[in-house]
Chain A
Amino acid sequence: MYWKRINAFVRTSSFRFALMTMGIIWLVTTLVLVAMYGLLRQSVWQNIDSRMNQYASVVTNAISAQPDLVASEILEQFQDMPSFHISMNTDTDSSRMNDSYSLMAEHHSGLSRPPDHLLHAQQMMRNMGNQQVMTRDIPLPDGSSVQLALNVDYLDDLNHDLFKTLMRGILFTLILAIVGSIILTRRSLKRTNQINEACTVIMAGNLDHRLPVPTPNNSATRLDDHDQMAANINAMLDRIQALMNNVQQVSDNIAHDLKSPLARLRTHLEKIQYDQPSDAIQDALNEADRMMILFKSLLGIARLESMTLTHTKQVDMSKLLADLTELYEPVFEDAGITFVNAIEPGAIRGDADLLFQAMTNLLDNAVKFTPTGGNIRLVSQQMANGYHIVLSDSGPGIPDKDIDHVMERFYRVDSARSTQGFGLGLSLVKAIIGHHQGTISLNNRNGLSVALFFPI
C-alpha cells in the first residue's frame, strides 16, 4: 500500500518535472563547485611557482654577481631566507633518473598535486623529513647545484578540508533538490488530486458538483494555472449540464407530447370497445399498450442512464432476493425447472423497485431459455468490496457473436426473434445496474451466467 503510493507519486508528471528542474540546478551547482576547485588549485600553484621563481632569481642574481662563490658560501648567504630552505643538492644523476619528478608528483592528488606544466627537470616534489616540499635546483658555475625547497605540506590538509566541504556541499544540494522536488510536487499534486476527486464525484453522477476555485476577493489575488484550469472545467460542466437539462426537457416533452395522443387514441378505442365490443378493437388496444410499453422502456432507459439516484434507501438485498424467489417459485414449478438459491445477507443503497424489476427481467429471461428439467441457480455473496449476485441457468446460453451486444437497445439474438419482446429487457437491466454504480457481465458457462456486482 505504502509502496504503491510512493510509486504513484514518483510516476506523476509533476514530480518528474520538478525532479528534472532540481536535477539541472544541482548539476550546475556541482559544476561550478568543481570548476572553483580547479581554479583554486591553479591559482595556488601559480602562486607557489612565482614565489619559487622570485627566490630563484634572487639566488641566481647573487651567483651571477659573484661567479666565484662556492656552494657553501651561497648556502650561508641565503640561510635566513623566510619560509624557504636552501641546501646542497645531493642528488646524483642516477637517483634523479629513478626518482623521477613525475612519479613523485603522482603520490599526490587534487589540490596538493602541482599542475604538470610546473614540473620539470629543475623543479619537482619531494618528501623531506615527512614534509611535502617543492624543490628547485639552481646550477652553480662549478657544475654543482644548490636546492631551494618550499614547504607545501599544508596543501594536503587544505585539500582534505576543501574536498570534504565540497562533497558536503554537493550532497546538501542534492538532498535539497530531492526534498524541493517533493515539496513542489506535493503542492501541485494537491491541486491535481482535488481536481481528480471532484471529477470522480461528477462521473459518479453528481453533476451539480464543481471543482474548488478560490474566489478572488481582491484584484491582487491571482489565479494560478490550476485555478484557471478548474475554472475552465467548471465552465465546461455548466455548459454540459445546461445541454443535458435541455435534452432532459426535450425528452420529457416528447414523453408528454407523444403519450397524450397515444392516450387519446387508446381512449377512443376503449370507447368503441365499450359500445361495440370486438376482438379487432381489443387487438388494437393491445397493440397501443405494447407501443406504450416500448415507449416507456426507451424513455426509462434514457432517463436512468442520464439521471442520478435521488430517492435512495438502504435496500435489504437478501429480502429482495427472497421476495423474488417466492414470486417466481410457482413459475419454476410450472416450467419444470429446478431452482437452487444461496442468498447471503447484505444491503446496498438504491431503489428497491428498480432493482426488483431488473431481477425479474433477468429471471424471466432465464425461465424463457431454460428447458424443462433444467435448473436455475441464484447465488449472492456479501464481500468486502460489495455485494455480488450470480444468476445462472442451464439453457443454451448466448452465441459468442452476440454476447457482447445483447445489452444494446433493440438487439435480438436470431433465435429469439420469433419470441415476444423488443430487445430492451437487458438494456433496461444494464441501465438499472449502471444507475446503481454496479456492473453486469454475461458469460456462457454450461448455460448463461449473469454476474452482478454492486460496490460498497
Chain B
Amino acid sequence: MKILIIEDDKILLQHIKQGLTQAGYSVDVSADGKEGLFMAASESYDLLIVDRMLPHIDGLTIIRTLRASHTETAVLILSALDEVDQRVEGLSAGGDDYLTKPFAFKELLARVQALLRRAQQPLESVPELRAQNVRLDLIKQKVWVGDTAVSMQPREFRLLEYLMRHQGEVVSRTMLLENVWEYHFDPQTNIIDVHISRLRQKLDTNREKSLITTMRGVGYVLETH
C-alpha cells in the first residue's frame, strides 16, 4: 500500500510518515504543492493525504487537477480550516474525506484504513459480516450472537454494521456520527458512548472482554478476536 503525503508542516509530516510507516504502509512525502502534484500524477499511489494550504499550488487545486485527468486515487484532505462550507468545498473538489487539524494520529490512521478498505472492496459486495461469534446478516437485517438472535433497532444495526466493516480498526465518534447518523460535526458530548454501551449490553453476554473496546481520546475498535 503506497501513500503520498503532501504537507508543508515538516514536524507534522515526519510524525505522520513515521506513524504510517510503523503501521506497515509505504510512505512518500512532499512539502511543496508543485512537487506533490508532480509526484501524484507521475506515480501510482493507493492514497493521497493532502494539506489545503501549501506553497505554490494549494491542496484543492492539486485534487481538482488530478480528478480532471481521471486519477481516481482516494484523497484525504488535511486542513486547519474546519468550517462546514470549507469541508463541503473540499469534498466537492474531489476529496474523499476531510480531517481538521489538530487530529489524533489514531483518528488519521482510522480514516486512512477506512479509505483504503473502501478502495479495495466496495460496500455492497458481502451478504454477511462476522466478528468473533457475532454474525450480521445484511440481507435479512438480523444479528446473531452465537446461535441466539439479537433484536436490533435499525440504527443500532447500522452502527454495528459500520463497526464490523471496520473491525480491528479504530473508528472515531465523528466518523460514527457521520456514517451512521449522517450528520457531520464533532460531537462534544457522550452521546455516541451511550449508543455504544447499549450495543455492548446486547452483544457482550457471556463474554470476558467486551467486543467493542474504547480507545481513550480517539474512539472505538470492534475487536476481531
Contacts and interface: CB of A to CB of B under 8 A. Distances in A.
Interface in B94-117: 100-105
B83 interface: yes
Given A267-B12, A282-B216, A307-B85, A288 B187 contact: no
A262 B100 CA distance: 12
Contacts, number: 91
Contact of A252 (B11, B81, B185): B81
A263 B9 contact: yes
A259 B217 contact: no
B189 A364 contact: yes
B194 A356 contact: no
Contacts of A265: 102
A264 B185 contact: no
29 contacts: A252-B81, A256-B80, A259-B101, A260-B12, A260-B80, A263-B80, A263-B101, A263-B103, A266-B104, A267-B102, A267-B105, A270-B104, A292-B102, A293-B186, A296-B82, A296-B186, A300-B82, A307-B83, A307-B85, A310-B85, A330-B194, A330-B198, A353-B183, A353-B184, A356-B183, A356-B185, A357-B185, A364-B188, A364-B189
A327 interface: yes
Interface string A257-278: 0011011111110110000000
Interface string A416-444: 00000000000000000000000000000
B83 A303 contact: yes
B139 interface: no
Nearest to B189: A364
Interface residues of A, number: 42
Contact of A327 (B53, B82, B186, B191): B191
Contact of A326 (B82, B155, B194, B217): B155
Given A282-B216, A293-B186, A255 B85 contact: no
A270 B84 contact: no
Contact of B11 (A264, A285, A286, A360): A264
Interface string B107-149: 0000000000000000000000000000000000000000000
B25 interface: no
A153 to B, nearest CB: 93
Given A264-B11, A267-B102, A323-B181, A328 B191 contact: yes
**Chain A at the B interface: mostly helix, strand, loop or mixed?**
helix
Interface in B170-203: 181, 183-189, 191, 194-195, 198
A430 B85 CA distance: 18
Contact of B189 (A252, A264, A282, A360): A360
* Chain B facing A: main interface SS: loop
Given A330-B195, A351-B84, A260 B183 contact: no
B31 to A, nearest CB: 13
Contacts of A260: 9, 12, 80, 101
Nearest to B53: A256
B88 interface: yes
Contacts of B100: 296
Contact of A334 (B53, B85, B102, B194): B194
Interface in A230-285: 252, 255-256, 259-260, 262-268, 270-271, 282, 285
B15 interface: yes
Contacts of A262: 102
Contacts of B181: 323, 327
Q: List the 5 closest pairs (A to B, CB-CB), nearest first.
A: A263-B102, A259-B80, A266-B102, A263-B101, A357-B185
